Structure 1
Amino acid sequence: MEHDPHVERYWAQPHVFTWTAGTDKYRYAPHFLVAKDDGGGCYCEVQESFANVTAQRRETVLAFEAFCREHGWQFHHIASAAVHGPAFPTLQKLYLRSLDTSTEELTICLRLLPELVWPATVREVLSALTASSLPALCCCLFSGQLLADLSQALNLDLVIQGPVTGEASA
């Protein structure tokens, strides 16, 4: 969702809903609450496959969908295949590798990036930065502060176009 241009913000498992429909009691926590750039929003559930969901889970999700309609809210079921585009494996690796980034490393990396010659491979950028900057570099790529074709594999030969400028993000 970080790379969907229409998503302004999202929250993971924002709330646990409990409600009654007829004589049945339900409890459900949607995976995400998403705020969109058009002022709207929705609750979302992301599953690998909805075909393998248990009957009880399916009943709860359908009841939550009806509960949302009653309150004028939107609810979307999203199959992970729709989320896992060609850039997903690289984004996943960037995210995991960026978890060890300290604020200090990220600040140093962001300060040094404009001084480098672009485009450059990951190998070239790392040789110009300190050895501990791989997590910071991954954080910059993941957050969109550096421009690269993320449908390509994350390796030392991945070409980074350079820092995103005001013109590139407009």
Structure 2
Amino acid sequence: MIITSGEMKLEDGPVRSSLRRRRQNFIVDFPSMKNGRSMQCDAVLESAYCIWLEHDPQVVKYYTQPHTFIWVDDSQPYRYTPDFYVVLTCGDGYFTEVKHDFGKQRARRLAKLDSFHALCFKEGWAFQRRDEQSITGSTMFQTLKALYSRLRPYNEQQQMYFYHYLHQRAWPTTLGDLLQDSAAPDTATICFNLFTGRLMADLSQRLTLDLVVDRVLPHE
């Protein structure tokens, strides 16, 4: 394989300008906490994938349509732009392709993805494929989505009060009791701390008032 594309410049923003407006396939601006700005996604499913990236503590930041790769594989030229490049706390990263159903992709498209996967292996990169079922098919996704839609990004003043509040009440409790407590932080702050793991809860369950919530002890 021979790579003929230039150097990847991540800070330049999406390299692909999409004009697509088909059903379930249009520009979505996702408000990213980790990147501190809106991320331009080519589809609603891609913006849904961002919720997992925001929740994953191993993810530092991520880029949408990060780079267009051009390479030759067995005399066949390819051109491909991954949907995401994800940077991890360990310094490593991986590319991700998002599709509703890879089983319904054209043979030519799958051949391109297979060739890019082989290129990644050769170069020491990582490559993932995520479909609709793996992104939105779980109860946990619905819970994370509900929390993310209600949270407020980190606010130092609100967080200082949150940490003070942690020591003022008995734990565990329920989400309903927290929301009814007039002394508790506001709903957006509670959702932020549930989403980011500063409050413990089984997020694989539906988000209801009966959800059991506990504080995270210092040694945890």
| TM-score of the superposed pair, with normalisation by structure 2 | 0.61
How far the C-alpha of 1:80 sits from its partner, in A, is: 4.2
Work out whether residues 126 and 134 of structure 1, in 8 Å CA contact, stay in contact via their aligned partners in 2.
yes
1:110 lines up with 2:163 in the alignment: yes
Q: What residue identity is the alignment partner of 2:126?
A: Q
> Structure 1 stretch 107-116 or stretch 136-145: which is displaced more?
107-116
Task: State the partner residue of 1:18.
Answer: 69
> Structure 1 stretch 52-61 or stretch 115-124: which is displaced more?
52-61
1:52 lines up with 2:100 in the alignment: no
CA distance change for structure 1 residues 8 and 20 in 2, over 3 Å: closer, same or farther? closer
Distance 2:101 2:197 in 1: 29
Work out whether residues 34 and 43 of structure 1, in 8 Å CA contact, stay in contact via their aligned partners in 2.
no
Task: State the partner residue of 1:147.
Answer: 200
CA distance change for structure 1 residues 129 and 56 in 2, over 3 Å: closer, same or farther? farther
> Structure 1 stretch 16-25 or stretch 141-150: which is displaced more?
16-25
Q: What residue identity is the alignment partner of 2:112?
A: T
Instruction: Select which of 58, 63, 66 maps to 2:118.
Output: 66
Distance 1:25 1:88 in 2: 34
How far the C-alpha of 1:136 sits from its partner, in A, is: 0.7
Distance 2:201 2:62 in 1: 26
Distance 2:80 2:70 in 1: 7
> Among the aligned pairs, what percent are the same residue?
28
Instruction: Select which of 65, 86, 89 maps to 1:33.
Output: 86
Work out whether residues 97 and 138 of structure 1, in 8 Å CA contact, stay in contact via their aligned partners in 2.
yes
Work out whether residues 18 and 26 of structure 1, in 8 Å CA contact, stay in contact via their aligned partners in 2.
yes
Moved over 6 A (4+): none
**Residues 85-110 of structure 1, C-alpha deviations (whole Å, 9 max, x = no match):** 44222112111211x35613344233
- Please, which runs of 5 or more residues in structure 1 have no aligned partner? none
| TM-score of the superposed pair, with normalisation by structure 1 | 0.75
SS in 1 for 2:190: helix
How far the C-alpha of 1:45 sits from its partner, in A, is: 2.4
1:157 lines up with 2:210 in the alignment: yes
How many pairs were matched up? 164
SS in 1 for 2:163: helix
Work out whether residues 154 and 192 of structure 2, in 8 Å CA contact, stay in contact via their aligned partners in 1.
no
- Please, which runs of 5 or more residues in structure 2 have no aligned partner? 1-52
Q: What residue identity is the alignment partner of 1:68?
A: C
| Aligned pairs for 1:100-139 within 5 A | 100-101=152-153, 103=155, 104-129=157-182, 133-139=186-192
RMSD of equivalent CA atoms: 3.0
| Aligned pairs for 1:79-90 within 5 A | 79-83=131-135, 84-90=137-143
Higher share in helix: 1
Work out whether residues 91 and 142 of structure 1, in 8 Å CA contact, stay in contact via their aligned partners in 2.
yes
Work out whether residues 9 and 34 of structure 1, in 8 Å CA contact, stay in contact via their aligned partners in 2.
yes
How far the C-alpha of 1:137 sits from its partner, in A, is: 0.4
CA distance change for structure 1 residues 51 and 107 in 2, over 3 Å: closer, same or farther? farther
Task: State the partner residue of 1:96.
Answer: 149
1:75 lines up with 2:127 in the alignment: yes
